[in-house]
Amino acid sequence: MSERPNTPLLDQVRDPSDLKRLTDAQLRQVADELRAETISAVSETGGHLGAGLGVVELTVALHALWNAPRDRIIWDVSHQTYPHKILTGRRDRIRTIRQKDGLSGFTKRAESPFDAFGAAHSSTSISAALGFAVARDLGGAPEHGIGDAIAVIGDGAMSAGMAFEAMNNAGSLGKRMIVILNDNEMSIAPPVGALSNYLSRLYAGDPFQEFKAAAKGAVSLLPPPFQQGAKRAKEMLKGMTVGGTLFEELGFSYVGPIDGHDFNQLLPVLRTVKARATGPVLIHIVTKKGKGYAPAEKARDGGHATAKFDVVSGEQKKAPSNAPSYTSVFGKELVRLAAEDPRICAVTAAMPDGTGLNLMVERYPSRTFDVGIAEQHGVTFSAGLAAGGLKPFCAMYSTFLQRGYDQVVHDVAIQRLPVRFAIDRAGLVGADGATHAGSFDTAYLSNLPGFVVMAAADEAELMHMVATAAAHDDGPIAFRYPRGEGSGVEMPEKGEVLEIGKGRMIQQGARVAILSFGTRLSEVMTASESLRARGITPTVADVRFAKPLDRALILQLAADHEALITIEEGAVGGFGSHVAQLLSDEGVFDDGLKFRSMVLPDTFIDQASPADMYATAKLNAPDIEAKVLEVLGVAQVSQKKA
């Protein structure tokens, strides 16, 4: 455990009301102590660091000036809320963050009344804030009332269509609400796109803006010191744009850009907006990701997310592993295939490193597209690329692909376009918890006519599936694989093209056949070992495909066994449901087949290690063993704990 920082003033802040009696100079001290406490806590837990460090001053200022929870502060993505959690009565649990039974790494309404709106996927904050503003004006929450609605959104999150949909709506409704655009010129990777360039231009230091601001009579929106002391106002006006921005065209009053780490700018501007805003206002603050912690400031990603680390050296403490990550296996195999086929291209929605497409960016930059946090566009853009004769790999996390679902149905599936979906983070992901669980993709893709849906049982299988997807030109195809390292299996030199809709036998046994879809296969084999001691050897197949099903294999195994069990890392409606439908259609149940489908339970599972989450889901080896015994009617003496 690292030495805890000395935080005499922060120690006196039990909730945000304690900030109200502090002077501006004391707020500065609280911010410094809060930053030290955040660094210390994350060094022990790991987690999202850089974004929180960048909003320390903003967090203190918002809680000092407004009255949360009556005023609703809505943090976009909410990976930057560790300082907010510390200030809102959760300091004693901050070192449990992202762990089993600990604090969530994101805002969560069930966790605290100060978490006005749950998040983790980006670009929802302005819509939610507008909802609160309208609810306030229509008399919602009559017991305590609703004060201000304040959305804090990053420059990366601002690039998403949803943010603009919300501004378009807010600008026309004209309700009082505040959007704080926290511009650190970073997403996880450096931000991309025209909006990012536009924001940079807004604070390019054009002295013309000073005159423009004055000429537009902007003084009414500026803090009183501006209006009184010409010198200070002049200083502050330097580089500040009022009027003529994209945001103003959308119906917002725009104030900024201001230095989000400088209380001398932040506090007066926020006070003035609080006192005077009548309609929607956007305050543009400029900050640094990782601010105040040199290793984070220097890191390529601004210290976005980190393992546990040594505070002094910044060195991260990662467990060594010999197995490659699924992500890197995908990235490397794609690069290999792209060398052979110039029509192969790749699309990521702001996750080049997370999806392994950084390797494609390095090798084939002109064929790799980071579209920003814009999954909907990314999917339809891929559909366009496919319609135009290219072979796009649309690489997204399972959970984020959810945002592009209508595009998957309407633009890809109905047109039978050969978009290859590389679905990373499939299944339960661990510390990011329920919001990031890849639980639904098998269900929501397998029910689409003409889709091919595969899951890799290990990293070698993943290589084959990448090759299979590249070769598949007849409609859309998806392959899913989990977060983290593979099982260390022997790797082929290159992926082989699999026959569509054909599974593989792993082990021939008797009485019960287990059909595994995805990486639960290793748990199935562990269970099988244990069952052997009881004289039961299950037949095991890796089905590879949830769609099209290997009908011949499944029907044969159904005919040869008294029981069939399916298992997958996904919610109901996926592989198991399709097998049940097949067995039902073929009348196999009429012959007395016993059938069990092991899927994720009908509940959102909170963060823990993936193994713990799968234990909660009852999808680990002991659960499989128990299921086999149950279906065969064998008495269980005792079940080992998962």
Ligand X SMILES: CC(=O)[C@@H](O)[C@H](O)COP(=O)(O)O
Ligand Y SMILES: Cc1ncc(C[n+]2csc(CCOP(=O)(O)OP(=O)(O)O)c2C)c(N)n1
* Choice among 28, 136, 175, 403 that is catalytic: 403
How is 600-629 classified by DSSP, letter by letter? --SSPPPSS-HHHHHHHTT-SHHHHHHHHH
Going residue by residue from 126 to 165, which x/- string records binding to ligand Y, judged by CB under 6 A? Answer: ----------------------------xxxx--------
Return the residues of window 282-321 that contact ligand Y according to CB under 6 A: 289
313 is an annotated ligand-binding site residue: no
Quick one: 182 or 272, whose CB is closer to ligand Y? 182
Inter-helix orientation angle 521-532/621-632, to 10° = 60
Instruction: Answer whether 534's CB lies under 8 Å from 634's CB.
Output: yes
Instruction: Answer whether 417's CB lies under 8 Å from 387's CB.
Output: yes
Strand duo 72-75 + 391-397: pairing: unpaired
- Full strand arrangement of the beta sheet holding 539-542: 504-507, 539-542, 512-517, 563-568, 594-598
79 is an annotated ligand-binding site residue: yes
156 is an annotated ligand-binding site residue: yes
- For residue 457, report the phi and psi dihedrals to the nearest 5 degrees: -85, -25
Minimum Å gap between C-beta 423 and ligand X is 13
Quick one: 325 or 597, whose CB is closer to ligand Y? 325
Residue found under tokens 């231009």: 201
Return the residues of window 139-178 that contact Mg ion according to CB under 5 A: 154-156
Minimum Å gap between C-beta 133 and Mg ion is 24
Quick one: 175 or 304, whose CB is closer to ligand X? 304
Which residue's CB atom is positioned nearest to ligand Y? 154
Give CB contacts under 8 A, 24+ apart, made by 262-266: 262/57, 263/24, 263/27, 263/28, 263/31, 263/57, 263/61, 265/236, 266/57, 266/58, 266/61
Q: Does 625 bind Mg ion (CB under 5 A)?
A: no
* 533 CB burial (10 A radius; 0-12, 13-18, 19+): exposed
* 449 CB burial (10 A radius; 0-12, 13-18, 19+): exposed
Side chain identity at residue 81, one-letter code? T
Going residue by residue from 247 to 286, which x/- string records binding to ligand X, judged by CB under 6 A? Answer: ----------------------------------------
Going residue by residue from 407 to 426, which x/- string records binding to ligand X, judged by CB under 6 A? Answer: ------------------x-
- Full strand arrangement of the beta sheet holding 149-154: 72-75, 149-154, 177-183, 280-286, 253-259
Which residue's CB atom is positioned nearest to Mg ion? 154
Q: Which does 432 bind (CB under 5 to 8 A by kind): ligand Y, ligand X, Mg ion, none?
A: ligand X
155 is an annotated ligand-binding site residue: yes
Stretch that binds ligand Y, among 75-83, 227-235, 461-469, 544-552 (CB under 6 A): 75-83
Minimum Å gap between C-beta 306 and ligand X is 10
Binding-site member from 186, 337, 426, 621 for Mg ion (CB under 5 A): 186
CA gap 247, 251 in Å, rounded: 7
Task: Centre a 10 Å sphere on the Cβ of residue 98 and count the other Cβ atoms it contains.
Answer: 21
Minimum Å gap between C-beta 234 and ligand X is 40
Tokens of 345: 């291209």
Quick one: 18 or 353, whose CB is closer to ligand X? 353
405 is an annotated ligand-binding site residue: no
Q: Which does 63 bind (CB under 5 to 8 A by kind): ligand Y, ligand X, Mg ion, none?
A: none
* Choice among 375, 459, 461, 625 that is catalytic: 375
Q: Does 350 bind ligand X (CB under 6 A)?
A: no
Q: Does 51 bind ligand Y (CB under 6 A)?
A: yes
Going residue by residue from 375 to 414, which x/- string records binding to ligand Y, judged by CB under 6 A? Answer: x------------------------x--x-----------
CA 361 to chain centre: 21
432 is an annotated ligand-binding site residue: no
Binding-site member from 31, 77, 166, 437 for ligand Y (CB under 6 A): 77
157 is an annotated ligand-binding site residue: yes
Q: Is 403 one of the annotated active-site residues of the chain?
A: yes
Q: Is 185 one of the annotated active-site residues of the chain?
A: no
Instruction: Answer whether 354's CB lies under 8 Å from 325's CB.
Output: no
121 is an annotated ligand-binding site residue: yes
Tokens of 6: 């000395």
- For residue 291, report the phi and psi dihedrals to the nearest 5 degrees: -50, 130
Q: Does 483 bind ligand X (CB under 6 A)?
A: yes
Stretch that binds ligand Y, among 73-81, 360-368, 412-420, 557-565 (CB under 6 A): 73-81
User: Secondary structure of 336-349 in the HEC alphabet?
Assistant: HHHHHCCCEEEEEC
Q: Which does 80 bind (CB under 5 to 8 A by kind): ligand Y, ligand X, Mg ion, none?
A: ligand Y
CA gap 422, 347 in Å, rounded: 10
Instruction: Answer whether 120's CB lies under 8 Å from 109's CB.
Output: no
Quick one: 53 or 305, whose CB is closer to ligand X? 305
CA gap 130, 322 in Å, rounded: 49
- Among residues 566, 574, 557, 642, which one has the least CA distance to residue 598? 566
Strand duo 420-424 + 391-397: pairing: parallel
Give 310's contacts (C-beta < 8 A, 6+ positions apart). Answer: 2, 43, 317
Q: Does 372 bind Mg ion (CB under 5 A)?
A: no
Minimum Å gap between C-beta 47 and ligand Y is 12
Tokens of 349: 């929605």
Q: Does 432 bind ligand X (CB under 6 A)?
A: yes
Return the residues of window 180-199 that contact ligand X according to CB under 6 A: 188
Instruction: Answer whether 177's CB lies under 8 Å from 129's CB.
Output: yes
- Active site residue ranges: 289, 375, 403
Residues lying near Mg ion in the complex (CB under 5 A) are found at 154-156, 184, 186
Contacting residues toward ligand X, per CB under 6 A: 77, 79, 188, 305, 354, 425, 429, 432, 483
Annotated binding site: 79, 120-122, 155-157, 184, 293, 375
Which residues participate in the annotated binding site for thiamine diphosphate? 79, 120-122, 156-157, 184, 293, 375
